[in-house]
Amino acid sequence: MTLRTASAIANPNIAFIKYWGNRDAALRLPSNGSISLTIGGLETYTSVTFDESLSSDHIAIDGQPASASASERVSLHLDRIRLVAGIETYATVESRNNFPVGAGLASSASAFAALSLAGISAAGLSLQPAELSRLARRGSGSACRSIFGGFVEWYASETDEGSYAESFAAPDYWDLQDLIVILSGEHKGVGSTQGHALADTSPLQSARVADAQRRLKECRRAILDRDFFSLASIIELDCNLMHAVMHTSTPPLMYWYPETLQIMTAVSKWREEGHEVCYTIDAGPNVHCICTSKHADTIEERLHHLPGVVKVLRAHPGDSARVVPSI
């Protein structure tokens, strides 16, 4: 019996300029480019073992057998890895997260980044980072950004070959922190994949996409110049544009809780007072408060006094996905 095993760790990421809607859903070619920060401190550990004695894939997430839909999505991704490696062997996949999954904390990003790297390594291959990023993109769009550390841009392209991510500033380039305000650890109702399919039903999506190049350029510049207040404006605008598209889709998607809006309002007020903090929100109710590290203690303390706050996770710029010893 031949067993080939490898393990990898990947961090999730928080998009500053968001991916919402696909030009090609099957290939996960996004309607617009995006920029994110890889989030250190939160991580997915995944081990893949190709085992010739198996007659199907076996997938466990956080110690439990994965649901039918999650298993199907992971198996489809293993098929992509098997195709690259020229093998047909089934695999055991064990994946563990140190943060709540499915609550808008981008667990699919770290999950498919770690799965891609562990799977390729277990198959005895090594891919160039851009190739690995393209592979991860097919599993979950945002996963292509989690292959890289620090500040990352994913290029929207009309072709599979052209749509991958790259890091443009290392994790230590700018001492930002992400205070992730958890309002609910419950699994969200409508997942991102279903949400992307609704984007084009909003009359606002075309305007959001048409202006994306300008926002990407402004975000890149603000990061490279470490210009916090410009970054804050463009991040919040981009977040609000994506949620406006969600709110005006058919059917509408409303991820916010009343407390989400209270946090957004409080963060805006704190920034007017001079604190370096801004908000961004993915497909869930939780709020990411991006701040410079010198303001992080004060902001975290204030967040704990707001209604509905269950927990505040503190994260920092994270590293690229890496192969690790199996545990």
Contact 43/10 with Cβ under 8 angstroms? yes
Q: Which is nearer to ligand DP6, 204 or 324 (CB)?
A: 204
Q: Can residue 47 be called a binding residue for ligand DP6 (CB under 6 A)?
A: no
Give least dist CB 291 to ligand DP6, A.
19
Q: What is the CA radius of gyration of the chain?
A: 19
**Site track 209-248 with ligand DP6 (rule: CB under 6 A), x = hit:** ----------------------------------------
Helices and strands: H and E segment counts in the chain:
9, 16
Spatial contact of 10 and 113, defined as CB atoms under 8 Å apart:
yes
The span of 137-145, 265-273, 307-315, 318-326 binding ligand DP6 (CB under 6 A) equals 137-145
Among 15, 101, 152, 216, binds ligand DP6 (CB under 6 A): 15
Contact between 193 and ligand DP6 (CB under 6 A)? yes
Residue 196 binding ligand DP6, by CB under 6 A: yes
The answer to whether 116 and 143 have CB atoms below 8 angstroms apart is: yes
| Site for ligand DP6 contains 46 (CB under 6 A) | no
**SS (HEC) of 18-50:** CCCCEEECCCCEECCCEEEEEEECCCEEEEEEE
Query: Per CB under 6 A, does 282 bind ligand DP6?
Result: yes
- Cβ of residue 14: shortest distance to ligand DP6, in angstroms? 7
232/295 with CB nearer ligand DP6: 232
- Cα(322)–Cα(308) distance, rounded to whole angstroms? 36
275 lies in the binding site for ligand DP6 (CB under 6 A):
no
Pairing of strands 91-97, 58-61: parallel
Segment interacting with ligand DP6 (CB under 6 A) among 62-70, 191-199, 303-311, 318-326: 191-199
Cβ 314 vs Cβ 303: under 8 Å: no
Q: Binding of ligand DP6 at residue 19 (CB under 6 A)?
A: yes
Q: Does 142 bind ligand DP6 (CB under 6 A)?
A: yes
Coil, strand or helix at 58: strand
Label residue 105 exposed, middle or buried (CB < 10 Å: 0-12, 13-18, 19+).
buried
Under the rule (CB under 6 A), what is the footprint of ligand DP6?
A: 15, 18-20, 28, 34, 106, 108-109, 140-142, 192-193, 196, 282-283
